């Protein structure tokens, strides 16, 4: 019996992934629940197990191909008795070139995986190509003819073409989805964090004894959660099908991490239940895993609100894009010593700009202002953080 293994639902609204590495070859024996390939999504690189045992007959995609959820990845030959598979494998002989070509429909287009990959490589929307093959199947020649029709204007100098793939491609798609579906609005605030810097120095001394590095980020996370508790719509999503605002009663905070492969957002689960040192340790561990591409899917699932620290790379001000399907994202920026007028006198204070982008379908500007006012107040008078040391 032949069994087609299809890319399973990856959750979190993920509809496709890029094959990073096959963990098997044609002719290999596969055990039940054995990991068979690595898939890279917008969230992480994950290993996918096969639910059945059998002999691999044909791999339908190559490393680097993009596969949609529900598409067949490979074909295995199964038997009722798993023992028979391993016994018969000794005598098995398989020549993949003798197998009929696999044909797949993609949004109404009839084409082989090879032709579909060629279309992606050529940046051609295969649904716009007219097929001249059997039953309207699209051929490589059809792609070439179509490419001539849409041939771009000649360049006026040297160029380098870099394929958009992996995390970068996923980021591009996620950003496009966010800005096309969510009406963004942004408010910008300054927080005087002179006292927060002093508090951090005290926390750092205590953290040294337990081997933890305390940055400003765990302190900001605590302030954000406190404000989210008062303004729950910033911890929600909008279900357009049911016309409902889904307010989350838990606080899973995403922390954007800059890696050489692109920005990823690991999630600190139940951040409200953790103290400053626990948050600091978990941020450090997740950031390290992100940069080493060792995050698992559970590390990046279930976020309710995202914080991005663009100040870490020297940014003075930015307008962040919401991490769909969340309702808001906070960007924190570079802290600078700045002249500030306090009680009619000019003093040098540590100033941290912050910008909040929010879903204008769910909340209005006045609500965003109140949300940010509370965060600023908490950061400027940080004695309340002593309870989390």
Which member of 165, 184, 231, 360 is catalytic? 360
* Token pair recorded at residue 193: 């964090």
* Range of weakest confidence among 136-140, 181-185, 342-346: 136-140
* Range of weakest confidence among 84-98, 203-217, 254-268, 341-355: 84-98
Would you say residue 382 lies in a domain?
Answer: yes
Query: Does residue 193 contact residue 352 with C-beta atoms inside 8 Å?
Result: yes
What is residue 153's predicted lDDT score, i.e. its pLDDT? 62
Calculate the average pLDDT of the chain: 87
What is residue 136's predicted lDDT score, i.e. its pLDDT? 78
N-term to C-term CA, the chain: 61
If asked whether residues 173 and 144 sit together in one domain, one would say: no
- Bridge partner residues of 346 (DSSP): 341
Q: Which residues contact 207 (CB under 8 A, 6 or more apart)?
A: 213, 214, 277, 280
Report the Cα 254 to chain-centroid distance in Å: 10
Query: Residue range 317-325: average pLDDT?
Result: 96
Name which of 67, 69, 40 is nearest 259 in CA terms.
40
Would you say residue 156 lies in a domain?
Answer: no
Bigger pLDDT: 80 vs 16: 16
What is residue 47's predicted lDDT score, i.e. its pLDDT? 84
If asked whether residues 144 and 172 sit together in one domain, one would say: no
User: Is 2 a known active-site residue?
Assistant: no
If asked whether residues 125 and 180 sit together in one domain, one would say: no
Query: Does residue 283 contact residue 217 with C-beta atoms inside 8 Å?
Result: yes
Q: What is the CATH number of the domain that holds 315?
A: 3.30.559.10
Name which of 309, 323, 328 is nearest 235 in CA terms.
328
**pLDDT category of residue 89 using cuts at 50, 70 and 90:** very low
If asked whether residues 188 and 113 sit together in one domain, one would say: no
d(C-alpha 220, C-alpha 215), whole Å = 9
Domain that holds residue 83: 2-149
Q: How many domains does the chain have?
A: 2
If asked whether residues 20 and 67 sit together in one domain, one would say: yes
d(C-alpha 380, C-alpha 374), whole Å = 10
d(C-alpha 12, C-alpha 361), whole Å = 21
Q: Which residues contact 206 (CB under 8 A, 6 or more apart)?
A: 277, 389
Helical pair 113-121 and 140-149, crossing angle rounded to 10 deg = 20
What is residue 80's predicted lDDT score, i.e. its pLDDT? 57
If asked whether residues 222 and 348 sit together in one domain, one would say: yes
Residue 352 in 3-state DSSP? Answer: strand
Domain boundary residue, one of 118, 149, 180 = 149
Q: What is the CATH number of the domain that holds 19?
A: 2.40.50.100
Query: Does residue 264 contact residue 300 with C-beta atoms inside 8 Å?
Result: yes
What is residue 94's predicted lDDT score, i.e. its pLDDT? 39
d(C-alpha 275, C-alpha 17), whole Å = 36
Query: Residue range 117-139: average pLDDT?
Result: 83
What is residue 109's predicted lDDT score, i.e. its pLDDT? 61
What is residue 245's predicted lDDT score, i.e. its pLDDT? 97
Would you say residue 334 lies in a domain?
Answer: yes
Residue 376 in 3-state DSSP? Answer: helix
Q: Is 6 exposed, middle or buried, given 0-12, 13-18 or 19+ CB atoms closer than 10 A?
A: middle
What is residue 266's predicted lDDT score, i.e. its pLDDT? 95
Query: Residue range 172-190: average pLDDT?
Result: 94
- Bridge partner residues of 4 (DSSP): 75
Dihedral, CA atoms, 62, 68, 69, 70, nearest 10 degrees? Answer: -80
Would you say residue 134 lies in a domain?
Answer: yes
If asked whether residues 81 and 190 sit together in one domain, one would say: no
Query: Does residue 227 contact residue 378 with C-beta atoms inside 8 Å?
Result: yes
Residue 229 parent element (H or E) = helix 217-230
Name which of 226, 50, 334 is nearest 234 in CA terms.
226
Would you say residue 163 lies in a domain?
Answer: no
Q: Which residues contact 373 (CB under 8 A, 6 or more apart)?
A: 189
DSSP state letters, 186-221: EEEEEEE-HHHHHHHHHHHHHHHTTT----SHHHHH
């Amino acid at each position: 019996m032949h069994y087609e293994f299809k890319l399973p639902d990856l959750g979190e609204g993920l509809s496709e992934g890029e094959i990073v590495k096959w963990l098997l070859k044609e002719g290999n024996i596969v055990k039940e629940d054995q990991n068979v390939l690595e898939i890279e999504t917008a969230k992480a690189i994950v290993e996918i197990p096969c639910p059945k045992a059998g002999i691999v007959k044909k791999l339908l995609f190559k490393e680097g191909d993009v596969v949609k959820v529900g598409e067949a990845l490979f074909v295995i030959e199964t038997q009722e008795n798993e023992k028979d598979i391993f016994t018969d494998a000794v005598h098995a002989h398989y020549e993949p070139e003798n197998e009929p070509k696999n044909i797949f429909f993609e949004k109404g287009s009839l084409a082989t995986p090879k032709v579909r990959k060629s279309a992606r490589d050529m940046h051609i929307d295969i649904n716009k190509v007219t097929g001249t093959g059997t039953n309207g199947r699209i051929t490589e020649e059809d792609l070439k003819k179509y490419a001539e029709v849409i041939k771009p204007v000649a360049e006026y100098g040297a160029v380098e073409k870099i394929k958009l793939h992996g995390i970068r491609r996923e980021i591009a798609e996620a950003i496009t989805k966010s800005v096309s579906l969510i009406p963004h609005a942004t408010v910008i605030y300054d927080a005087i964090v002179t006292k927060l810097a002093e508090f951090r120095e005290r926390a750092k001394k205590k953290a040294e004894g337990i081997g933890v590095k305390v940055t400003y980020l765990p302190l900001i996370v605590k302030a954000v959660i406190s404000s989210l508790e008062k303004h729950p719509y910033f911890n929600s999503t909008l279900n357009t099908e049911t016309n409902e605002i889904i307010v989350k009663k838990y606080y899973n905070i995403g922390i954007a991490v800059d890696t050489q492969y692109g920005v990823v957002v690991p999630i600190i689960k139940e951040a409200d239940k953790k103290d400053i040192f626990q948050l600091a340790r978990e941020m450090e561990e997740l950031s390290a895993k992100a940069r080493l591409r060792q995050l698992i899917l559970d590390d990046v699932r279930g976020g309710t609100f995202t914080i991005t620290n663009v100040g870490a790379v020297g940014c003075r001000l930015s307008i962040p894009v919401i991490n769909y399907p969340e309702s808001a994202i906070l960007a924190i920026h570079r802290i600078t010593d700045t002249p500030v007028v306090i009680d009619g006198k000019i003093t040098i204070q540590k100033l941290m700009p912050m910008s909040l982008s929010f879903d204008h379908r769910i909340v209005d500007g006045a609500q965003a202002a109140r949300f940010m006012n509370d965060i600023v107040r908490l950061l400027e008078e940080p004695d309340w953080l002593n309870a989390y040391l």
